[in-house]
């Protein structure tokens, strides 16, 4: 037994020990009471919010609330201002919230370069892409991702023996990008191709499927998408127009997952054209992402 342990034991053996125990018991009681009240209040809040989302309006009671807002460091903010046009479309309050969330991703995701050095610009642009597509939700953390792997250009996947530009790898909890192709997604901002947005939506979709039962952000995203697919099933002419217009690339019609990702790529890149060609579908995607900022 070391000297510190002996001191504690002798302290407890002294006459005052009942008082020490009383204080400890009272403290534990107070902490437990606070925890119980917190857990019950949170449960009641989430119950009412879920009922509101499911039966009244697809809106969360609040989106942004942080005990301590993280400040983005100056060099990251500079990259954001100069190289991420979406950020400049936000108002000052939205920018602060946007920066907080970018800093969260930079702090919590591991960025791994494969034959390439990870730069600040890579971290900022990837984190900003994830922040952009989740900015309408309170639950923005994309829980199924904990790392980002970056290759300089297209990479060969030994899993399916194919060359890839990027992917969401659910087994590895990772977003994987060819940096050359990630950058191309932003080089032309209105060609409806954005690798970063595409893969982030796959990850978000997967993460929401897992948390739908208790997560109102997931409920808004998935239930609105379900409404959209029902609308399309009920309107054959609209469905045909969607396919024949050529506005959405053919890959959208591979399956539901690709459909969601391509819908959002088009929504982000060419909102005006989307709205004028398919106003109802545009409205649904806007509702699905709760995207009520930056002029959308």
Axis-axis angle for helices 216-234, 279-289 (nearest 10): 160
55-74: contacts with Zn ion (CB under 5 A): none
Question: How many other C-beta atoms can be found within 10 angstroms of the C-beta atom of residue 203?
Answer: 23
Least distance from Zn ion to the Cβ atom of residue 226, Å: 19
Judge contact between 108 and 175, C-beta under 8 A.
Answer: no
In terms of CB distance, is 87 or 248 closer to Zn ion?
Answer: 248
Q: How far apart are CA 52 and CA 28, in angstroms?
A: 36
Q: How far apart are CA 51 and CA 43, in angstroms?
A: 12
Please work out, in degrees rounded to the nearest 5, the angle formed at the alpha carbon of residue 172 by the alpha carbons of 84 and 251.
Answer: 60
In terms of CB distance, is 207 or 261 closer to Zn ion?
Answer: 261
Least distance from Zn ion to the Cβ atom of residue 243, Å: 18
Least distance from Zn ion to the Cβ atom of residue 261, Å: 5
203-262: contacts with Zn ion (CB under 5 A): 258, 261
Please work out, in degrees rounded to the nearest 5, the angle formed at the alpha carbon of residue 167 by the alpha carbons of 163 and 172.
Answer: 110
In terms of CB distance, is 181 or 258 closer to Zn ion?
Answer: 258
In terms of CB distance, is 134 or 261 closer to Zn ion?
Answer: 261
Pairing of strands 147-151, 174-178: parallel
| CA-wise closest residue to 80 among 135, 117, 130, 128 | 128
Site size toward Zn ion (CB under 5 A) is: 2
Least distance from Zn ion to the Cβ atom of residue 175, Å: 12
In terms of CB distance, is 192 or 261 closer to Zn ion?
Answer: 261
| CA-wise closest residue to 69 among 94, 49, 39 | 94
Least distance from Zn ion to the Cβ atom of residue 162, Å: 13
Q: Pattern 257-276, binding to Zn ion, x per CB under 5 A?
A: -x--x---------------
Structure tokens at 121: 């610009």
Least distance from Zn ion to the Cβ atom of residue 242, Å: 18
21-50: contacts with Zn ion (CB under 5 A): none
In terms of CB distance, is 223 or 258 closer to Zn ion?
Answer: 258
**Footprint of Zn ion (CB under 5 A):** 258, 261
């Amino acid at each position: 037994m070391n000297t510190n342990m002996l001191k504690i034991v002798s302290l407890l053996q002294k006459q005052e020990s009942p008082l020490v125990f009383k204080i400890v018991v009272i403290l534990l009681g107070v902490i437990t009471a606070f925890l119980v009240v917190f857990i019950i209040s949170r449960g009641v809040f989430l119950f009412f919010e879920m009922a509101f989302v499911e039966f009244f309006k697809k809106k969360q009671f609040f989106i942004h609330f942080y005990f301590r807002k993280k400040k983005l460091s100056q060099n990251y903010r500079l990259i954001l201002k100069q190289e991420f046009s979406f950020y400049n479309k936000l108002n000052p309050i939205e920018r602060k919230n946007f920066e907080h969330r970018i800093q969260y991703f930079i702090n919590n995701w591991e960025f791994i370069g494969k034959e390439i050095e990870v730069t600040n610009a890579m971290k900022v642009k990837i984190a900003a892409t994830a922040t952009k597509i989740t900015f309408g939700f309170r639950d923005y953390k994309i829980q199924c991702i904990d790392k980002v792997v970056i290759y300089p250009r297209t990479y060969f996947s030994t899993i399916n023996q194919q060359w890839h530009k990027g992917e969401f790898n659910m087994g590895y909890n990772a977003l994987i990008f060819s940096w050359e192709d990630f950058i191309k997604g932003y080089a032309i901002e209105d060609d409806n191709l954005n690798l970063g947005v595409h893969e982030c939506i796959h990850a978000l979709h997967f993460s929401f499927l897992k948390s739908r039962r208790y997560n109102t952000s997931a409920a808004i995203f998935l239930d609105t998408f379900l409404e959209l697919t029902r609308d399309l099933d009920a309107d054959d002419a609209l469905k045909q127009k969607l396919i024949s217009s050529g506005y959405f690339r053919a890959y959208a019609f591979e399956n539901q997952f690709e459909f969601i990702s391509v819908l959002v790529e088009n929504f982000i890149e060419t909102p005006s054209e989307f709205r004028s060609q398919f106003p109802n579908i545009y409205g649904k995607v806007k509702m699905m992402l709760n995207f009520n900022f930056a002029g959308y």
